[in-house]
Structure 1
Amino acid sequence: MEFFMKDNGMRTEFDYGELSISGNEEYGFRPFQLMVASIAGCSASVFRKILDKQRTDYEDLQIRTEVERNPDEANRIESISLYYTIKGNHLDPAKMQRNLELSRKNCSMIRSVEGSINVEEHLEIIELSR
């Protein structure tokens, strides 16, 4: 990847578009937002692949994040909580939890920040058929 200077930040080009990065969110994504998005996106992508391989019947998967930053350490990200909500039919809570743990082991972004940023996952299951 190559990054180029622009007013109030940096930019890079991808096949699917331009990404603007800036400490001021009026001009682009803030670096911490990209870090959180990378971790949430990677985790969800791996989790989804596991569910699809198991032919799990689910309709929706969402993640809400909470980020704790340390203002005394250059606003360093201390922890990220990922709150998963999965909606589907006949979802086994124990199996879903094991799948989430497996996705953590195979998520390159979470593995890259281990020992530096505390990442916690929480799972809520919404059963659509009873």
Structure 2
Amino acid sequence: MDLVRGTNGFEVIHENGNWQLNRDTGFSPTQATVAAVAACSGYVYDTILEKKRIAYTIEGINVTFEQDQEAVIHVLKKIEVTFTLKVAQEDREKAEKALHLVKKSCPVAMSLDPKIEIIEKVVFS
């Protein structure tokens, strides 16, 4: 992976178009990190639900985060990943219990400082 300085800051080079890492014109590096946790968690949750043979559709993933605004460097304090899941009523409890496997199976989440609180939630549609 290569980065170059574009007209609006650093960009990750990609054959389908560069990805700007600038909060004014794209996503900040912190937002990209949080998005990576959410995407990785989504792929992991997909795998877990498939292995458990639960019929489902992930309709969306919402991710929010908090930074330590009192520190000199505003490090991440908390990331909350909420999955909107379509699943049969009888499988909802199993789908909810499967959430506890997501964080420890996500390489992105496991690569972050352990002080960062990562919370996974599921809402059913």
Q: TM-score, normalised by structure 1?
A: 0.82
Per-residue deviation at 1:28?
2.4
Aligned to 2:101: 102
- When the two structures are aligned, how many residues end up with a matched partner? 124
Aligned to 1:67: 65
2:4·2:13 contact (CA, 8 Å) conserved in 1? Answer: no
SS of the residue 1:72 aligns to: coil
For the residues of structure 2 that align with 1:15 and 1:8, how far apart are their CA atoms?
19
SS of the residue 1:71 aligns to: coil
Against the structure 1 CA distance between its residues 98 and 28, is the aligned structure 2 distance closer, same or farther, given a 3 Å change threshold?
Answer: same
2:77·2:117 contact (CA, 8 Å) conserved in 1? Answer: yes
Q: Which amino acid aligns with 2:4?
A: F
Against the structure 1 CA distance between its residues 50 and 16, is the aligned structure 2 distance closer, same or farther, given a 3 Å change threshold?
Answer: farther
Instruction: Note the residue ranges of structure 2 that are not aligned, 5 or more in a row.
Output: none
For the residues of structure 1 that align with 2:57 and 2:26, how far apart are their CA atoms?
32
Kindly report which structure 2 residues correspond to 1:42-57, keeping only aligned pairs within 5 A, or say none: 42-57=40-55
Q: Which moved more, 1:73-82 or 1:53-62?
A: 53-62
Against the structure 1 CA distance between its residues 65 and 57, is the aligned structure 2 distance closer, same or farther, given a 3 Å change threshold?
Answer: same
RMSD: 1.9
Against the structure 1 CA distance between its residues 15 and 51, is the aligned structure 2 distance closer, same or farther, given a 3 Å change threshold?
Answer: farther
Query: For 1:48-106, what per-residue CA distance to the aligned partner results, in whole angstroms no more than 9, with x for missing partners?
Result: 12222333212333222221112222222110111222112244233212321112221
1:9·1:28 contact (CA, 8 Å) conserved in 2? Answer: no
Kindly report which structure 2 residues correspond to 1:111-126, keeping only aligned pairs within 5 A, or say none: 111-126=110-125
Instruction: Note the residue ranges of structure 1 that are not aligned, 5 or more in a row.
Output: none
Q: TM-score, normalised by structure 2?
A: 0.84
More strand by share: 1
SS of the residue 1:75 aligns to: coil
For the residues of structure 1 that align with 2:111 and 2:28, how far apart are their CA atoms?
20
What is the percentage of aligned positions where both structures have the same residue? 27
SS of the residue 2:63 aligns to: strand
For the residues of structure 1 that align with 2:46 and 2:120, how far apart are their CA atoms?
15
